[in-house]
Chains A and B, each alone.
Chain A
Amino acid sequence: NAGVTQTPKFQVLKTGQSMTLQCAQDMNHNSMYWYRQDPGMGLRLIYYSASEGTTDKGEVPNGYNVSRLNKREFSLRLESAAPSQTSVYFCASSEAHRAFVEKLFFGSGTQLSVL
């Protein structure tokens, strides 16, 4: 049972570099999400995709772009990384967006450092 798989697990970037975080789920879920977690903070939603072909901004979308490549995959791109984007990034999926129980399944995270 793979669940939600994120790659890479660790990444160090220099300011201004770009990169894409990959996420795939094998639970046939319709909805996928990207969160970030900073020290002493709760998880904050960056972007989400309620269903294949749609994406929407969350609480902290600035500096990021996303692509819902297909039902399984949802990628997060940093076009020009900044030190403020140093964080742990979590991808999550759920059966349906705005389902009665917003039960999310999370990947194990990507620890990103921007120098």
Chain B
Amino acid sequence: DQQVKQNSPSLSVQEGRISILNCDYTNSMFDYFLWYKKYPAEGPTFLISISSIKDKNEDGRFTVFLNKSAKHLSLHIVPSQPGDSAVYFCAADYGGSQGNLIFGKGTKLSVKP
């Protein structure tokens, strides 16, 4: 049973527009959420995170929004650039003795020039 769901396998956006990547989760114990970005033939790299005590975190062109009641978070990229074309993974973490970030399946973003 997937605890972290990214229901859109792919997203195509025009350069300069906003990209919105969505992520839903089922486990209310999750208290920290992260987004990773992955280029082909490379490992994922950390992009941005948000604690469950916040509803928004911003870092330059990247903003993550968290709606705890809906168990939903989203990553906004404004403005989108061709270099943003990559696979984006949503991941969730919860307090506990076992170390395990739970990853979604990823969304492939293509930003067209």
Contact = CB atoms under 8 A, between A and B. Distances in A.
B43 A4 contact: yes
Contact of A101 (B49, B97, B105, B106): B49
A50 B49 contact: no
> Interface residues of A: mostly helix, strand, loop or mixed?
loop
Contact of A97 (B46, B99, B104): B99
A67 B46 CA distance: 26
Interface in B51-109: 89, 91, 93, 95, 97-106
Interface residues of B, number: 26
B99 A103 contact: no
Interface centre among B91, B93, B99, B103 (most CB of A within 10 A): B99
B100 A42 contact: no
A104 B101 contact: yes
Interface in A38-91: 40-45, 48, 50, 56, 58-59, 90
B101 A41 contact: no
A45 B104 CA distance: 13
B34 A102 contact: yes
A59 B46 contact: no
Interface in B23-44: 32, 34, 36, 41-44
Nearest to B3: A42
Contacts of B105: 40-42
Interface string A90-115: 10100001101111111111000000
A44 B44 CA distance: 13
Nearest to B43: A106
Interface in B1-21: 4, 9
A59 B43 contact: no
Nearest to B103: A42
A3 to B, nearest CB: 9
Contacts of A40: 9, 105
Contacts of B98: 56, 58
Given A98-B95, A101-B32, 11 more contacts: A42-B102, A56-B98, A58-B100, A92-B43, A98-B97, A101-B34, A102-B34, A102-B99, A102-B101, A108-B41, A109-B43
